[in-house]
Amino acid sequence: MISVHDADVAGALGELSRFRQEFYQCLTARADALFELTDAVLCADGPVHSLVELSLVGEHRRGHGSLYGALAEGRLDAGRLGAAPAAVPLPRAADGRLVLAVDVTCWLRPEAHTSPGRILCHTYGRGKDQHLMIPGWPYSVVCALETGRSSWTAPLDARRLAPGEDAATVTAAQLRQTIGRLIAAGHWRSGDPDIWVVADAGYDGPRLAYLLADLPVRVLARMRSDRVLRRAAPPWAPGTRGRPPRHGGEFVFGDTATWGEPDVTTTGDTRLYGRATARSWDRLHPRLTHRAAWVAQTGALRGHAFSGQLLHG
């Protein structure tokens, strides 16, 4: 490895070495044992079924007793460890901007009856349209993405969701902290393109955009195919009696007759799917109701224009 002449590879190895040193500095008790245990988890040949198996991995050079001692007595600085991934070079999109993806992944724990904080996690079954609810630990994960087809991502933060927590509120706080670390590390400066935040249909895109409205971000969230949005309210005509309307006409995802003419249409060629056309409609918004997290925010949101962009797949 020392004799490698490729400058890019050598630079990557240098970044990896610095990250490993920073990770080691985050371990405040039983540092050596925890560091070797981490290497053993990363280098194990397949899933880890028991802790004692990790002591047999070549990277773990200590006895199996130190493994249990590291887990019982080891300590780490979580704040410093959370900031460590933001200090390394991050992948970017083709235009140079940062793209952050948020998602919830579950660690299923159906047999761990004594484990605290388990939640019923939505899991896809083996059959068609089969869904299962299995007890486990859901984790909210933030990753940096790059343009093009790749299975590599750069994880920046992971946080376990406790029972009763609202996923949008937790994710917004998580993104706020992560973006603050990226700005402090110099990955985003004033004048740079806004950071894209990409979310799946399980997230409330408009609410996520509202909670992050003061940050240099744009939210791109997939929406369910059965959603119904509203257009902007028509202008108030002088002399009209009655209460002014708050919303315009409906935009029903499943009814093309309600779509109207798109504001922007883009057409391009794809390598796998041929000709592809993307259409967008501006100023669509959901109708807020007195339920869930919107109850306390309905009054504050009246008249507020969302800056987030919504995409119907």
Residue 155 Cα distances to 143, 194, 284, angstroms: 4, 20, 32
CA nearest to 179, candidates 123, 257, 98, 300: 98
pLDDT of 8 reads: 53
pLDDT of 193 reads: 93
Q: How many residues are present in the chain?
A: 313
Average pLDDT across the chain, whole number:
83
- Evaluate whether residue 223 is within a structural domain: no
Taking the whole predicted model, whether its pTM rises above 0.95 is answered as no
Segments forming the whole domain that contains residue 287: 228-311
In order, the DSSP letters of 188-236 are S-TTSPPEEEEE-TTS-HHHHHHHTTTSSEEEEEE--TT-EEEPPPPPP
pLDDT of 306 reads: 38
Same domain, 67 and 122: no
Is the pLDDT at 312 greater than 70? The verdict is: no
Same domain, 295 and 194: no
Contacts of residue 57, defined as CB under 8 A and 6 or more positions apart, other chains included, come to 39, 40, 43, 44
Strand extents, DSSP E, 52-177: 75-76, 99-108, 119-124, 131-144, 154-160
Q: What is the pLDDT of residues 162-212, one digit of tens each?
A: 998 888 889 999 999 999 999 999 999 999 999 999 998 888 888 899 899
Same domain, 15 and 57: yes
Q: What is the pLDDT of residues 112-146, one digit of tens each?
A: 888 888 988 888 766 666 778 899 999 999 999 98
CB atoms within 10 A of CB 187: 19
Same domain, 72 and 130: no
195 in Cβ contact with 218 (< 8 Å): yes
Q: What is the pLDDT of residues 15-53, one digit of tens each?
A: 888 888 999 999 999 999 999 999 988 888 888 888 888
Same domain, 36 and 129: no
Among residues of the chain, what percentage have pLDDT more than 90? Answer: 36
251 in Cβ contact with 230 (< 8 Å): yes
Q: What is the pLDDT of residues 75-102, one digit of tens each?
A: 999 888 888 888 888 889 988 999 999 9
Count of structural domains, the chain: 3
Same domain, 214 and 233: no
- Evaluate whether residue 84 is within a structural domain: no
Q: Using the 8-state DSSP alphabet, how is residue 15 labeled? A: H
